[in-house]
Structure 1
């Protein structure tokens, strides 16, 4: 497989999309990456190939966004996220990934549509104030992000549902998101090793795709630095809408299609 051009025809675009997402351009690209790679290899192997790549992307993104962070958001969300990962590991044989995609997709679509309705109201002169930190809500959405990240590789929408209404400036938002998911991905290494998926074959494939990961992550970070808030937030909510639609479609097909 290391020399199979058909594998790279799928894997290179998949890794590039996830790299742009890691650079700061939103979760929708990341949701496309693993399913796209699953056209070339089994889904579990696709996820395993991606995990070391994600860790390298996280390292690059952490460096690119080293000066930007909202500590209070991380303190509110991370404890719940760690619990969510643990619950996902403990219940992964009982709760299907498709059911999780269905629920998250529906929530995300409603959330994004609400933003665009509020934006229309603001255009008419009814501005919505930034939300404050809410520990209970942050813990809930953090745990759902951790759970979804483990079960369905879809932690972005729950994170965005809590954080986007805070209306952080784009650079701070992206730096906070980078730190949050870097920590989650590092924790996920433990169950992947336990499942035996990080074997020499998958690690070799991951290493071969690393140059694409590095370039695309830096490109995503550069693009976010150029975006103004008036462009950034509609783009991010648009990504949530796309991501939610993808999750909803996959969930419906998985739950009801069979």
Structure 2
């Protein structure tokens, strides 16, 4: 397993943040997790270590939000995600490490800008066209860097569902997505022994993060947490873009 202290300095908060987001607190800021761990290891290894941990988180999230999800939306976005995972499994090995850092950094920065400047629109409803498109994008970005949250949020958030129903829908969606990703990850050799043992060390943080997020969902002013997380996500995104383009 990885023994570098700097790795765990990055990985421990990354896992807790991802878990809290799955528990309903912090929303799409889980996208910061892979960029944060990528400061210590390659983006591919960061994603590989996180996948088994995410599956444990998904189980806790499904139990926490049991029975509270939108079946109509799931029937639209899950087939799109399966297509996106398939496309990702065929194409991601063509991406260099620099290209992946640029992709992660771009998603992080764009997601922050979307959060800060998106206009408030009238509530939307389920759409096969929009849901299929964003579901596919979410499956593709989730396959490579576990960044399916921003694309699927762009589709689901404008519907303004009740908070627990929204999080329950996301819990089912990502539980299905992450289980499907196990097959191509295994076939591509990403679930190597070092990655699995490192994931096992971090695994106890998974239920802690999810249950902490579920508890804080109704206890803390989320707006302040969002502002802080998005600020740091923006900074990390810029750092990865700079690394990818060789600016520093």
Shared fold per TM-score greater than 0.5: yes
User: CA 1:143–1:241 in 2, change beyond 3 Å: closer, same or farther?
Assistant: farther
The CA deviation at 1:35 is 2.7
Matched, 1:166 2:166: no
Q: Please tell me whether Structure 1 or Structure 2 has the larger radius of gyration of its CA atoms.
A: 1
Contact 1:157-1:244 at 8 Å conserved across structures: no
Q: Give the superposition deviation at 1:201.
A: 2.4
Q: TM-score, normalised by structure 1?
A: 0.80
How many Å separate the matches in 1 of 2:159 and 2:228?
Answer: 17
What do you get for the CA RMSD once the two structures are aligned?
Answer: 3.0
- Listed as ranges, the gaps of 5+ residues in structure 1 are 119-127
1:3 is displaced (CA, Å) by: 5.9
The size of the alignment, in residue pairs, is: 244
TM-score (norm 2): 0.83
Q: Which of 112, 122, 137 pairs up with 2:115?
A: 112
1:65 aligns with 2:83: no
Deviates further, 74-83 or 2-11: 2-11
Q: Separation in 2 of the partners of 1:164 and 1:78?
A: 17
Kindly state the Cα deviation for residue 48 of structure 1 after the two structures are TM-superposed: 1.4
| Mapped pair 1:209 → 2:199 | no
Matches within 5 A, 1:81-160: 81-94=81-94, 96-98=99-101, 100-101=103-104, 104-105=107-108, 108-109=111-112, 111-115=114-118, 117-118=119-120, 128-160=121-153
Distance 2:234 2:39 in 1: 20
Q: Residues 172-191 of structure 1: matches in 2 within 5 Å?
A: 172-191=165-184
Note the alpha carbon deviations across 1:187-226, whole angstroms, 9 max, x for none: 1111110121212322222112111111111111122244
Change (3 A) 1:238 1:162: farther
CA, structure 1 residues 211+156, in 2 after alignment: closer, same or farther (shift >3 Å)?
Answer: same
Q: Deviations over 1:38-58 (max 9, x none)?
A: 344333222211111110011
